[in-house]
Structure 1
Amino acid sequence: MSIMHSNSFDIRQLEAFAAVMSAGSVTGAARLLGRSQPAVTRLIQDLEADIGYALLHRSGPRITPTSRGLLFHAEVERHLASLTHIRERANAIGLEEPLSLTIAATPSLAAGVLPEAIAAVAPNLLPRHLHVQALAAENVVQAVLARSADFGIASLPLEHPGLDVHWVADAPCVVALAASDPLADHDVVRLADLADRRIITLANPYRLRHRVDEALEKVGVMPQRMIDVNASMTALTMVRAGLGAAIVEPATVVGVPLEGIVVRVLDHTIPFLFGAISPAAMPLTPTVAAVIEAARAVALAMPGCRLHESGGVEALADTVYGQTPPPGGMLS
């Protein structure tokens, strides 16, 4: 089968395909685009003819993406976003204004660090268009490496030859409790006191979760009931619903306090490690440099937070882990 019959795509074809994927139907896509249904159908058919394979399964009025269609859709989304950013930056260049900025961050840091950091930047440095992407930590790294994001803020590990690490922060995790919980009367909560509670914490075993598990194991707590989630905000809403006590990183609870929840210090330090990254050897624009510096200041304001300006993993090994980094120099 021949693939890629033409050297370039009609942007209208890509927009039609993206609209169909978003709306779930050709009829819905036609409404989104302000085109007729036959016109959208023809654009999709022409696109499939150009690339040489089917993007959609058709069963009467119902359509579903093929496996290739799903993969292609991810590329189309990136391409259309890039075109939008190019238009924004072209306008900014013409107006001699700061260029549009794309920041990738994990959900907790996007909610708990970035708003204050951006607000602290001088207004004349902020562009008209600012894009914030809340992504899994691994995807933050990939977005920065691919230069689809100007810089990122993510939890460790962050070491990669294609990245510049501007700073690494080390802040202790906290426990979030319902305001009615008897433990809420304590200034410091012992991990041992959580033995009979349902514990809510993050799921990723390669980042914060294994440090939580290690700390519980050290005090002999083997939780019989747990809820793991992929975002601290979800953990906090579960606490508010009375489902348990959450051991979470401090960024979300500092940046987005929720009524009905109290936050307490733990008697054991469970470090949450995160940092700011940008593509290696890429000069920082004044705007990027200002946001990275402001994010550093916001991080430092977290209770108990320490900063490691060098971003070196070795500096953290002794103070946080009491061990040397594993092969490859990556600590999680």
Structure 2
Amino acid sequence: MTKLSFRQVEAFRAVMIAGTTTGAAELLYISQPAVSRLLHDFEAAVKVKLFERHHKRLAPTPEALLLFEEVERSFVGIDRLASMAEELRDFQRGSLKVAAMPAIALGFLPRVMQKFGEAHQGVSQTLQVRSSQQVADWIATQHFDVGIGAINVADPALAVEVLGEAALVCALPASHPLVEKAVIVPEDLRDQPFISLGPEQSVRYKVDEAFEQARVSRQLVFDTQLSHVACSFVDAGAGVALVDPVTALHFPSANLVYRPFEPWVSFSYHLLYPAHRARSRATLEFSELLKRELTVLTENANGLLRLKGVAGTP
């Protein structure tokens, strides 16, 4: 059989709907002779008689009716594709899969994802909370669209972007004498019961170095992987801790007070993307919203969150 063209099939469908070549020409915005020529070529290609000519009208043969059913199924599929493309363009469909470390995910991130969902109600969202290393592994294997972690890894499967760099803050019980100080320094914490982030956290070594350089010893009573858990220990009266400020701002307790700590001990937040996969519009818009919301958080943090690296911050 001679190869069919889409235009021939389109002309056949239009004639079946309109009943005349003139009506089909109006549907397709082409001339009536052009429709007649396409219809003739279509019949010649399929080698089946499709119409009986009765004056100016065309009466479809039983074979034409069967063929029209198949054509309609194909066009419904094309219409569905066009509809889906429109929905994707207008964010009425799609998905966004986010993997994030607890410091961001336990307080700040759900509010950002809720705001994104309100603006793009057709986009389904997934959030998985894991350690920074697990987040990096998941992004590298393309299981998620975007990740937020505290590590900057040199992995060719990852595209890494700095979201922000903040200074650790000191978490104190509200009844602690040091709450009277505006800024906490290592000497203030000499021999204090201290809750430390675990050795799997790279920031742990930065904290230890700050105290070693100041020649200050602490009572290391607990190790924990998460700033959120460190805050819980402080809340329980177990000691003091240095934690990331985003966690501090979202830890719900009136029994804790936070103070800036000097010297600056940085805690970095990074955006991670699969390096070998194009980013969807949903991923790009979510990332921009995340940056804006972090900037707003910085501006409203009353000096607690001193953040560098986010658009709009120093």
Q: State the Cα deviation string for residues 288-320 of structure 1 (Å, max 9, x = none).
A: 1122112223333432100078xxxxxxxxxxx
1:121 aligns with 2:107: no
Alignment coverage as a number of residue pairs: 219
1:211 aligns with 2:203: no
Which position in structure 2 is the counterpart of 1:247?
242
1:14-33, aligned counterparts within 5 Å?
Answer: none
Which position in structure 2 is the counterpart of 1:297?
292
Partner SS for 1:297: helix
Which position in structure 1 is the counterpart of 2:308?
306
Partner SS for 2:306: coil
1:224 aligns with 2:236: no
1:171-186, aligned counterparts within 5 Å?
Answer: 171-186=166-181
Specify whether residues 206 and 261 from structure 1 end up closer, same or farther in structure 2 by C-alpha distance, changes over 3 A only. Answer: closer
1:1-332, aligned counterparts within 5 Å?
Answer: 96=87, 97-121=92-116, 123-127=118-122, 129-300=124-295, 301-302=297-298, 303-307=305-309
1:123 Cα offset (Å):
2.5
1:119 Cα offset (Å):
3.7
Larger Rg: 1 or 2? 2
Specify whether residues 306 and 183 from structure 1 end up closer, same or farther in structure 2 by C-alpha distance, changes over 3 A only. Answer: same
**How far apart, in 2, do the equivalents of 1:207 and 1:253 lie?**
19
**How far apart, in 1, do the equivalents of 2:206 and 2:136 lie?**
21
Specify whether residues 299 and 128 from structure 1 end up closer, same or farther in structure 2 by C-alpha distance, changes over 3 A only. Answer: closer
Q: State the Cα deviation string for residues 186-243 of structure 1 (Å, max 9, x = none).
A: 1211221111211112103452111111111111122233311011111111101100
Specify whether residues 281 and 164 from structure 1 end up closer, same or farther in structure 2 by C-alpha distance, changes over 3 A only. Answer: same
**How far apart, in 2, do the equivalents of 1:265 and 1:233 lie?**
17
Contact 2:133–2:151 (CA<8 Å) still a contact in 1?
Answer: no
> What is the aligned-residue identity percentage?
27
Partner SS for 2:287: helix
C-alpha RMSD over aligned residues: 2.4
Contact 1:163–1:277 (CA<8 Å) still a contact in 2?
Answer: yes
Contact 1:199–1:227 (CA<8 Å) still a contact in 2?
Answer: yes
Q: In structure 2, give the amino acid aligned to 1:278.
A: Y
1:117 Cα offset (Å):
2.5
Contact 1:167–1:296 (CA<8 Å) still a contact in 2?
Answer: no
**How far apart, in 2, do the equivalents of 1:295 and 1:167 lie?**
12
1:285 Cα offset (Å):
1.7
Which has the larger displacement, 165-174 or 136-145?
165-174
Q: State the Cα deviation string for residues 146-195 of structure 1 (Å, max 9, x = none).
A: 11111100002233211112334110000001101111121211221111
Specify whether residues 293 and 205 from structure 1 end up closer, same or farther in structure 2 by C-alpha distance, changes over 3 A only. Answer: same
Which position in structure 2 is the counterpart of 1:50?
none
Which position in structure 1 is the counterpart of 2:7?
none
Contact 1:98–1:287 (CA<8 Å) still a contact in 2?
Answer: no
1:126 Cα offset (Å):
4.6
Contact 1:165–1:276 (CA<8 Å) still a contact in 2?
Answer: yes
**How far apart, in 2, do the equivalents of 1:93 and 1:214 lie?**
55
State the TM-score, normalizing by the size of structure 1. 0.61
Q: State the Cα deviation string for residues 244-276 of structure 1 (Å, max 9, x = none).
A: 001111111123342210111012100001211
Specify whether residues 213 and 186 from structure 1 end up closer, same or farther in structure 2 by C-alpha distance, changes over 3 A only. Answer: same
**How far apart, in 1, do the equivalents of 2:251 and 2:86 lie?**
36
1:100 Cα offset (Å):
2.3
**How far apart, in 1, do the equivalents of 2:273 and 2:263 lie?**
33
Contact 1:199–1:225 (CA<8 Å) still a contact in 2?
Answer: yes
Contiguous gaps of at least 5 residues in structure 2: 1-82, 299-304
Specify whether residues 158 and 251 from structure 1 end up closer, same or farther in structure 2 by C-alpha distance, changes over 3 A only. Answer: farther
Contact 1:104–1:149 (CA<8 Å) still a contact in 2?
Answer: yes
Contact 2:234–2:241 (CA<8 Å) still a contact in 1?
Answer: yes
**How far apart, in 2, do the equivalents of 1:178 and 1:231 lie?**
18
**How far apart, in 1, do the equivalents of 2:276 and 2:120 lie?**
22
Contact 1:151–1:279 (CA<8 Å) still a contact in 2?
Answer: yes
